[in-house]
Amino acid sequence: MTDPAVSAELRVLEEQLLQPAFRRDRAAVSALLADEFVEYGSSGRIFTKAQILDRLAAESPQRIEMADFAARLVAPDIALITYRAIRMPHVCPPLADAGSNSSAQPAVSLRSSLWVRRDHLWQVLFHQGTPA
């Protein structure tokens, strides 16, 4: 079971990591990722903190929504976060001679993050995305 205040704090931090402007702020993201951070991406690739910082700085802005958020303390300063990420498709205005791309579907993945609290600050130690 997780303290509601801890759950709320971690939800805010996870939501920040989904915001395009925050994702491009290398210093802000770096402060939330532990130095030994590792991500198992939904692509099947494994990424280090440095690789994630580079990828986020170069990505095009996208809208990602969070659903089914849950937080669980697994130790006093370690929390497991799970949620469903819904990456909304880029919708471009249709060209005069092209069909509409309104059939684009959101990409859904199951996400889990392991957060550790060090010196009263939460950082992500591990993150995984699994296509759903």
Dihedral of alpha carbons 30, 32, 37, 41, sign: negative
Domain definitions of the chain by residue range: 4-131
How much is the pTM?
Answer: 0.85
Residue 61 has pLDDT above 90, yes or no: no
130 vs 111: CA distance, rounded Å:
7
Residue 97 has pLDDT above 80, yes or no: no
Q: How buried is residue 79: exposed, middle or buried, by Cβ count under 10 Å (0-12/13-18/19+)?
A: buried
pLDDT, mean of residues 50-62: 90
pLDDT band at 104 (very low <50, low <70, confident <90, very high): confident
Options 3.10.450.50, 3.40.50.720, 3.40.50.850, 3.40.1190.10; CATH of 4-131: 3.10.450.50
Q: What is the pLDDT of residue 2?
A: 76
Q: What is the pLDDT of residue 101?
A: 47
